Structure 1
Amino acid sequence: MRKILVIGCMLLFGASLQAQEGLNVGINLGLPVGDASDFSSFSLGIDANYLWNVAESLDVGVATGFTNAFGKTYEILGAEFDAEDVQFIPIAAAGRYHVTDKFRAGADIGYAIGLNDGNDGGFYYRPILAYGFNDTMEVNFSYTGISLDGFTWSTISLGFMVNL
């Protein structure tokens, strides 16, 4: 089932790259929370989505990106250890509801592919609140959760997106 979801999302995203309408790209800076804060100090990511307007106030589409969470040094019984960086590529369905002309709320839901050793990835969800400065630029605040074996990798992020 996981492979079918990943392949389906990749096909949708690949098909959307042929058109330019609704393509958004951006960057984000995140702080790990919960279990993730034990191993990582901060994360940097790039985001891309393609959204289609399906109703007056509703956009739906596909989203992907890349996130690198930088490992931190921690101490156990007097010995210092460096945690490895953790990387993910999410592939997700995306939805955005226009609450007002400037304010949007939405979510991305899908699967995050783990890239580093021992990281199998997991179910990915990302609620997002965004404020649009104009038709091409927005700032957003999001929570990212990735359900892994035994715990959830979570971050809160501040991002900047540009509509191409």
Structure 2
Amino acid sequence: MKRIFLSAIAVMAFSFANAQDGHFKVGAHAGVVLGDLSDSYSANLGVDVAYLWNVADKFSVGATTGYTAYVPKSNNYNFGFGQVEIKSPNAAFIPVAATAQYSITDNLFVGADLGYAIYASSGDGDGGVLYQPKFGYQNQKIELFASYKAISDDATLSSLNIGFNYKF
């Protein structure tokens, strides 16, 4: 796990040295949890950092990381002897992924992230395969996007998100 994280840092550091070939972006996202674990978590919040190299006229590839957390829910259960409140554990991840983006027009794009999400909460937990297709609006300085994010291991923790990136 440490090697994956250190490799991502090395890729990001190298990308700063070659800034003329692409662009760096920083942003945030928020979303609602779907699927398998929607009874345990209510929202997805996070920050994103990415660097993309321009490899063709409208196509860029790069590396992305950040921090994403899932807000746990508390559920009340009645076991016959009284009501018990059970709170889901915190779930936070550090994604380390490849990213790609294709500009359909000057202002519309599609993209995807594919990699691994490292578990970053206390207690027992596993990371998982991360995949995140995106669709959005962009101009020279900003991006607004909608995405479906999923982290899959034994179960799939997924969310429908909206996000914002600022490009440098």
- TM-score relative to the length of structure 1: 0.90
In the TM superposition, what are the counterparts of 1:105-124 in structure 2 within 5 Å? Answer: 105-116=110-121, 117-124=123-130
CA drift at 1:19: 4.9
**Residue in 1 that maps onto 2:15:** 16
Counterpart amino acid of 2:166? V
**Residue in 2 that maps onto 1:161:** 165
Pick one of 147, 151, 156 that aligns with 1:146.
151
1:25 maps to 2:26: yes
Which whole-Å CA distance do the structure 2 matches of 1:118 and 1:16 have between them? 34
CA drift at 1:11: 2.4
CA drift at 1:10: 3.5
Query: Unaligned regions of 5+ residues in structure 1, if any?
Result: none
Aligned positions, number: 161
**Residue in 1 that maps onto 2:87:** 82
Query: Unaligned regions of 5+ residues in structure 2, if any?
Result: none
CA deviations on 1:43-79 (whole Å, 9 max, x unpaired) are 2100111001100110000011101111111123331
**Residue in 2 that maps onto 1:128:** 134
SS for the counterpart of 2:148 is strand
Pick one of 86, 101, 109 that aligns with 2:106.
101
What is the aligned-residue identity percentage?
35
Counterpart amino acid of 1:72? K
Q: Provide runs of 4+ in structure 1 moved above 3 Å.
A: 2-10, 17-21
> Residue 10 of structure 1 contacts residue 91 of structure 1 at CA under 8 Å; is this kept in 2?
no
- TM-score relative to the length of structure 2: 0.88
Which deviates more from structure 2 when the two are superposed, residues 17-26 or residues 64-73? 17-26
Structure showing greater Rg: 2
Which whole-Å CA distance do the structure 1 matches of 2:94 and 2:17 have between them? 21
> Residue 57 of structure 1 contacts residue 97 of structure 1 at CA under 8 Å; is this kept in 2?
yes
